[in-house]
Amino acid sequence: MASSNGVVEAVGRSSTHSISKPNLGSIRLIAGLGVADDAHQGETAQHLSHAAGGPDGPNLRQVHLIHAELHDELRKSGFSIAAGEMGENITARGIDLISLPLGARLILGSSAVVEITGLRNPCAKLDELQKGLMRAVLGRDDEGRLVRKAGVMSIVVSGGEVGIGDPIAVELPPHPHRRLEVV
């Protein structure tokens, strides 16, 4: 059963492997590949650091999503971050993305569906945007475990157009749920 509790705040793509992705009115998701015309589109690993370790591995990082509440938190800490600057394809509001379990599905707009594959591991390139940004997207939970707040990665299950203002519904996988790990 899906619950509708989020909205797409921004979308973007980039044909180069730059850290930031320009904002657009909409993007097109392609099943099994990712975001049309994005540098990370493909069945096999496209992120430079992952492709270097084995370019034949599956691309579990087709679509990067960040929760807009992270941008709010960063602004309160003195950073000036806009949607797309940290490399996300979709900025979502109203969903605690990093708390979702492995395999959770997000229904975006009327037809697109992505499945969460893991957490984004923040990289040092974030500090190129603003000094201290990488550390700002890391934290600790109540049990002292490292929390990576730089969003989640996903694969495209069903394609479609995704645009600003589209609703996002969450569909949880069957129990037992598994925590997200870095992909």
* Per-residue pLDDT reduced to its tens digit, 111-135: 999 999 999 998 888 999 999 999 9
182 secondary structure, DSSP code: B
Q: In a 3-state reduction of DSSP, which class is residue 152?
A: strand
- What is the rounded distance in angstroms from the CA atom of residue 123 to the CA atom of residue 88? 13
Sign of CA dihedral 59, 109, 106, 144: positive
Q: In 3D, which of 169, 179, 174, 35 has the Cα closest to residue 107?
A: 169
- Answer for the pair 152, 141: CB distance below 8 angstroms, yes or no: no
**Phi/psi of residue 157, each to 5°?**
-90, -45
Q: pLDDT of 25-78, one tens digit each?
A: 999 999 999 999 999 888 887 655 544 455 677 889 999 999 999 999 999 999
DSSP string, 132-152: THHHHTEEE-TTS-EEE-S-E
pLDDT (0 to 100) of residue 52: 47
The model's pTM is: 0.92
Structural domains of the chain, with CATH = 2-171 (2.40.33.20)
**Phi/psi of residue 49, each to 5°?**
-65, -35
- What is the rounded distance in angstroms from the CA atom of residue 33 to the CA atom of residue 96? 25
pLDDT (0 to 100) of residue 47: 58
**Phi/psi of residue 112, each to 5°?**
-75, 140
